[in-house]
Amino acid sequence: MSPWAGLPGLQIKPLNVGAPGAFQLGEEHNMKRTLYLALALSVAGCGFGQTKAGPVKGSIPGPTAPDFNVTNPLTPVKVVVQFSASPNASLLSAFTGKGATINKKFSHFPKVQVFTVPAGMVNLIAKLPGVKYVSPDRSVKPRLDLTAATVGSNYAVSQYNLTGQGIGVAVLDSGIDSTNADLAGRVVYSEDFTGEGTTADRFGHGTHVAGIIGGSGANSGGLYRGIAPGVNLLNLRVLDENGNGTDSAIIAAIDRAISLQSTYNIRVLNLSLGRPIYETFVADPLCQAVEAAYQAGIVVVVAAGNGGRDNSAGTDGYATIEAPANDPFVITVGAMKTEGTPTKADDLIASYSSKGPTVVDSFVKPDLVAPGNLIKSLRVPGSTLDLEYPGNQVNPTLYGAPANAPVAYMTMNGTSMATPSVSGAAAILLQQNAAMTPDQVKARLMLTASKSFPTSSIATDPDTGIQYTDFYDIFSVGAGYLDVLAAINSTALADGTAASPVAVYDSTSNTFSLVNANQIVWGDQIVWGDQIVWGDQIVWGDQIVWGDQIVWGDQLVLSSSVPAAQSNTTAFHTIWASSSSWANFNPGSLSTNMKGEK
């Protein structure tokens, strides 16, 4: 049974947040380290046969998703139905006979349709021949001044004239303000998928994200320039004025992006949003949609989530990666803090950045990290976030404008803000070499990511006094910290699939192994064969050491020299061995309103 059974309905959220004062004191704490990883990995594998010999095939748990909660059988509910093959007229007639009406069909996903059906009929339609999986139309929410300098993209522009010019980046978010001078003339397409009939950014999240990807800095004399200021942006609005969206809206937007791929040279998809995981990625309709984009040749970049402080399951924030960031083919991004300087040397992980491994499938995530804390980017006057957090507005004098000038920028925090930095970096690589595949872009960014981190860091929440300790292991920082300059100076081209590896925990030796290649077959869609890029030469190497805790290579070894790590072996075991701690898990805790950390 899925560890997520019995949970309330999902929310897809923008992975960012708000008030300026939060985490304003120095950060990250000295709580015990955990081997909360093992707790996380028992949670990650719970219900799906995770063993130290290797994960069992990621199978679909049953015809109906575990998060259905029928209280009134007559209540109409919207569901996403995955078929074994494109449904014929007879099967669709059977749906109609059970009170179902079709809401959406998709050009590039002929085996997926969205229906409205009486709640009491869901289990019956799930049992019809030809129906593979039925899930709720789950709800989804969202989750610079120093950003460009920290990741090195300023040198890409000034020294290499790489701005992402000619590359289309589709932004699935709350809309983009195409009238903003920083984006003038480069929002080449807009469409609403919320049903509200507007592509305006009423929430204020999507424009901020777009500015990080490709703002020109026109409003600030170039000071707050985005990562790839020459890209073209496609505004695919999937979140409403409150930051709410649905699976079906996101699937429809991805479907449209694939259709428009050749028209606008769409090479990158940015999803600064997410929701909890309810099933293996093989069954999750969001994961299947992002994989379709990946298979079409589009680099998909997704926010990891903001659950790094969530200890409701006793995992110390491990195993809190959201969907669709749990898909092995996307680039999953965690958040770092720039500490107010352009150098990486003093940067620290944001304590709210979600950690791996992924629930159910145990993938190693995030893939890398990027600046996502106290990020200055475009403001949308009068938007929900602008009105809710007036203190986040950036004083115009900070970017050389008169004090009484209209405020053009505001500060936001979260993995929502880290994700567009990686999308911009991907656009730069694709301008440099248009022949690169999504796998090659992912592997290059991971290979060249900076791998210099402290062993641990501590954050103190000034509001509560609670301290949070972060360790710089593979489930916190992935392959490292985004370095655009290193990426464009590299000539490495991976030959094969860059799917994120699976972590397998051995409780008897307190070690991890990475499982790839022909040891795993995931469903009908994916076979991992001999062409996996994670070898001895690519990305990890044999001797990449993450602090004192973990060696990232053929074996992930938990160091016995770290007392804090030893003190929480029990919690570490829980992640792999037991689902009991997840019975009362609250998905809302994954999307709390994060405050900026300094």
Cα–Cα distance measured from residue 520 to residue 8, given in angstroms and rounded to the nearest whole number: 32
Cα–Cα distance measured from residue 283 to residue 83, given in angstroms and rounded to the nearest whole number: 11
Longest dimension (CA), the chain: 68
Name the 3-class secondary structure at 377. Answer: strand
- 416 part of the active site: yes
Name the 3-class secondary structure at 23. Answer: coil
In total, the chain counts a number of residues equal to 598
**Closest-CA residue to 581 (of 36, 32, 34, 31):** 36
- SS3 string, 96-126, reads HHCCCEEEEECCCCCCEEEEEEEHHHHHHHH
**413 and 597 in contact (C-beta within 8 Å)?**
yes
Name the 3-class secondary structure at 181. Answer: helix
**479 and 556 in contact (C-beta within 8 Å)?**
no
Alpha carbon separation from 546 to 473, 474, 556 (Å, rounded): 6, 8, 10
Cα–Cα distance measured from residue 475 to residue 478, given in angstroms and rounded to the nearest whole number: 6
Tell me the angle at which helices 569-577 and 36-45 cross, rounded to the nearest 10 degrees. 10
Return the beta strands (E) in 143-265 as ranges: 168-173, 187-192, 232-237, 245-246
Catalytic member of 2, 42, 354, 416: 416
Cα–Cα distance measured from residue 1 to residue 573, given in angstroms and rounded to the nearest whole number: 19
Residue 258: what residue type? I
- 476 part of the active site: no
Q: Which DSSP helix (H) or strand (E) runs through 84?
A: none
Cα–Cα distance measured from residue 465 to residue 515, given in angstroms and rounded to the nearest whole number: 40
Catalytic member of 173, 192, 255, 386: 173
DSSP 541-575: -S-EEETTTEEESSEEE--TT-HHHHTTHHHHHHH
Cα–Cα distance measured from residue 410 to residue 391, given in angstroms and rounded to the nearest whole number: 9
Half-sphere exposure of 397 (CA within 13 A, CB side): 2
**Closest-CA residue to 303 (of 256, 224, 231, 365):** 365
- 145 part of the active site: no
Cα–Cα distance measured from residue 343 to residue 340, given in angstroms and rounded to the nearest whole number: 9
Q: Phi/psi of residue 163, each to 5°?
A: -120, 0
Catalytic member of 108, 205, 208, 573: 205
Cα–Cα distance measured from residue 88 to residue 572, given in angstroms and rounded to the nearest whole number: 48
Q: Phi/psi of residue 487, each to 5°?
A: -65, -40
Report the catalytic residues.
Answer: 173, 205, 416
